[in-house]
Amino acid sequence: QVQLVESGGGSARAGGSLRLSCTASASLFELNSIGWYRQVPGKERTLVAQVRISGRENYSDFVKGRFTISRENAKRTVHLQMTSLKAEDSGVYYCNAEKIGAQGLRDYWGQGTPVTVSS
């Protein structure tokens, strides 16, 4: 079992910045990947940014060049620095971790943190 606790988020104006943080109950080296998804009402969660255990980073095309994901391994924390925010970045951001266990790959989710960007 992996618990994920998110912090940060809130409100910002378009063009501004916000930072999200997610702290895991397990070492980041035990996780196949950790990252962020966004969900808006009526839509499925979609990947925003993810970092794999190899260190490889994946970003959705919409946030490339604006968002940066980073790890603080000693604190078991991953950050999402969001810059040049757009109104379309609004939504609930969920931290996600994948861990390989005895029964295969399993997903874990945080409780979600809302982000509102006003134009």
Q: Each residue's pLDDT tens digit in the chain (119 positions)?
A: 899 999 998 999 999 999 999 999 999 999 999 999 999 999 999 999 999 999 999 999 999 999 999 999 999 999 999 999 999 999 999 999 999 988 899 999 999 999 999 98
CA distance 97 to 6: 12
- Residue 12 burial (10 A CB sphere; 0-12, 13-18, 19+): middle
30 has which bridge partners? none
CA distance 28 to 35: 11
In angstroms, how far is the first alpha carbon of the chain from the final one?
40
What 3-state DSSP class applies to 95?
strand
